[in-house]
Amino acid sequence: MPANDNAILVLNSGSSSLKFGLFIPGANDEQLILEGSADNIGRDSGSLRIGDVSGKDLLRRDHILESQPEALTAIIDALHDFAHTAPIAVGHRVVHGGPHLREHQRITPAVISTLEASVHFAPLHIPQSLALIRQAQRALPNTPNFACFDTAFHRTLPEVAAHLPIPTRFRDVGVIRYGFHGLSCESVVARLNPIPQRVIIAHLGNGSSITAVLDGKSVDTSMGLTPTGGIPMSTRSGDLDPGVLIYLLRNEHLSADELEQLLNRQCGLFAFSNDESDMQVLLAREATNEPTAALAIDAFCTAIRKYIGAYAALLGGLDLLVFTGGIGQHSAPIRTRICSGLGFLGLDPGNPNKVLALPAQEELQIARHTRVLLGA
């Protein structure tokens, strides 16, 4: 591959993975030239893969990468070998920036300080983002870094959606509905031409959220202060009666850290099925008449169906339902089950005028924002 001096490196961090893409300017949009991921970071099954745009593997290496910063170092080293260049900018997906970081922007010392002061809004996500940013700055010391926030798309939420039903003094310190998967939603909206007036986006994966979009803008979304809220997910609880949390604190004597671990790692599909969070595995178990797998799938689809119905009422109707994310894009059985019973909205997974399944293009969206912010 010839050298390119105008490439942008995009980093998309997951709980145990680090996806990346290398983009150059194309005729009409950012053009992907290399992509890949470091998966199962910190586990014996860890791996690093780099591929070209045709899907051909250029590198596949099985070994333990102890952390995301270590994975990033391996990725940068591999990019030198295959792209023969260093990127002119690095764009980071940052899940949560707290109340003061709601716009995509260049990372400065002030931005890092604000992120450090906002860790309590997302203690599972912000420290990981900070570690990656610092490693990128060390590995590429003369390269600017940019933060693209998953909450930015939801800045348009009206007060009735953003303001939680708790005393105003908590809102004033940032306890509001932020919403997440914003980069995924942005990438969906960017592909709709023309943009229908009333759209619902179901981003379904390990983390899942539903977003109501009116005239291209987010007006409500299922996740709230954190990515734990909304529908039950792979291992996250989704919304709970607050009394459940009080019970767990008072009667089970859980600490705040233990409660956080429970809600994020031991709930959702994992809890319904007793031990499994992977949707493909659950579908296979359901086919053998395993009742807990059937319950997990039914609870997941029912919760999503409820949100779609509610958001259709909020929007005054529905022009298009878009499924995205790993489950949303790839699992036709789940799409069919969700749409079952929503015929009154005209939803049929086989009707492309009403229901679409699209890949989430978060990395492309980050590349677009980074290029604009860089002024390149």
Catalytic residue set: 150
Q: What is the largest CA-CA distance in the chain?
A: 63
Return the structure tokens found at 240: 């709970």
Reference 60, options 50, 52, 70, 71; nearest CA is 50
Name residue 57's beta-bridge partners: 51
The helix or strand, by DSSP H or E, that contains position 141, with its residue range, turns out to be none
Q: Edge-to-edge strand order for the sheet containing 18-25?
A: 57-62, 47-52, 30-39, 18-25, 8-13, 89-94, 145-149, 105-106
Place of tokens 């319904």: 272
Q: Express the helix, strand and coil content of the chain in percent, nearest 5 each.
A: 40, 20, 40
How far apart are the C-alpha atoms of 37 and 40, rounded to whole Å? 10
DSSP reduced 3-state for 308: helix
Helices and strands (DSSP H and E) totals, the chain: 14, 13
Q: Edge-to-edge strand order for the sheet containing 209-214?
A: 217-221, 209-214, 198-203, 320-324, 355-357
Instruction: State the number of CA atoms in the 13 A half-sphere of 123 facing the CB.
Output: 7
Whether 91 and 146 have beta carbons less than 8 Å apart is answered as: yes
For residue 221, give the amino acid letter.
T
Residues 6+ away with beta carbon under 8 Å from 153: 179, 182, 183, 185, 186, 218
Whether 210 and 311 have beta carbons less than 8 Å apart is answered as: yes
